Structure 1
């Protein structure tokens, strides 16, 4: 039944997709110069597709300033696979926004320095921010294990669709009742229609588990924390 449901689900999602790379043509050196005092030990450089073409230039600049660095590559959405086998002491994220740096903190639990070539600003995630992420994760896990009725958030969006992951939870936790809640765009208000749900498992974008936790009517645990 699960395999049939998954096949139908995938067929409904099938569509032609065209990817367009939008490069950011900026000078990366000024922001790297600002970041130099924060770069200690082995540095793993990560970025998004907009700045990927600047990585060789960035590493060359760091080499010239005696910074031990390695280009790890592109982080994509919730995927930070390029950091999986890294022995870096810290990560240097070249890009804008907090989403990817937060993902590095949550999944890798290492020091993260953010260098934004667009705003020419540098900052490092503070211990307080790291502690907040840890508390959110802990609360979600504790609530999940003490709850009976679980709502599993599943996306219809290609690249974020993890229906099978949600369905396998029943086998792993047979004493719990799982309700699969499928969305294209997650409507937080609609979750109020399921007052019996005690905790959510998020199989969608990880941003929901950490950035949007206050929008959910119940505690949430990310699926990755249950593996």
Structure 2
């Protein structure tokens, strides 16, 4: 089957009010590293063009990202400006930012152009996530029952058979649920499961962890501990 991938870009504009708040937020800094997900690259470039009194750095990836300043969940090269004072990011949620913060000690100012929300994140934000991740790993390894969450979508990890086999050897009962679209309400109905292990999009175990009553950990984060 032939597959066509089409870029989806947000068509909304950066309001004057949001632009002023961005200016105020970056005022203490001189050299600013600009990054964004593909949906908001147009808004990122708009802000760059409108603010003339700052030095902006927009790096091009050597890996998967196609555009200057673009980051992916698996490619944060555009955020690796060593002599920049701060990173100004245009994303939604914290998934992409967590990847950035694990690679740099710079503060990140994250702008959600759709909601107008701005959030400052630093290494403390990563520590909070790491703490929850380690708690989830501990529960998964000492569980009676775990459930693997898998997706049928193209490009997402499926199976993690080696992890399943290792958990079974530990005497843990292993189950699998497969979705097209992940349904958190349905997952919460599995009340006798101690933990979920995610092999679908890694964002689920970061941005959406609070939607689940039981802990969830990405399979790749669990693998080093089995």
Which one of 37, 49, 59 corresponds to residue 71 of structure 1? 59
Structure 2 residue runs without a partner (length 5+): 61-68
Structure 1 segments (4+ residues) deviating >6 Å: 60-63
Structure 1 residue runs without a partner (length 5+): 1-13
State how many pairs are aligned.
207
What's the Cα RMSD here? 3.7
Q: Which has the higher contact order (CA 8 A, sep 6+)?
A: 1
Once residues 81 and 63 of structure 1 are traced to their aligned partners in structure 2, the CA distance between those partners, rounded to angstroms, is: 28
Note if 1:37 corresponds to 2:24: no
Once residues 74 and 188 of structure 2 are traced to their aligned partners in structure 1, the CA distance between those partners, rounded to angstroms, is: 32
Contact 2:59 2:79 survives alignment (8 Å): no
Query: Which residue of the partner structure matches residue 222 of structure 1?
Result: 218
Once residues 115 and 190 of structure 1 are traced to their aligned partners in structure 2, the CA distance between those partners, rounded to angstroms, is: 32
Q: CA deviation at 1:30?
A: 4.3
CA shift in 2, pair 1:15/1:201, >3 Å: farther
Q: CA deviation at 1:99?
A: 3.8
Q: CA deviation at 1:169?
A: 1.3
CA shift in 2, pair 1:168/1:117, >3 Å: same
Note if 1:82 corresponds to 2:76: yes
Which one of 151, 156, 159 corresponds to residue 152 of structure 2? 156
Task: Give CA-to-partner distance per residue, 1:152-193, whole Å, 9 cap, x none.
Answer: 11112234x2114x2231355543443222111223343356
**3-state SS in 2 of match to 1:185:** coil
Q: CA deviation at 1:64?
A: 4.1
Q: Greater share of helix residues, 1 or 2?
A: 1
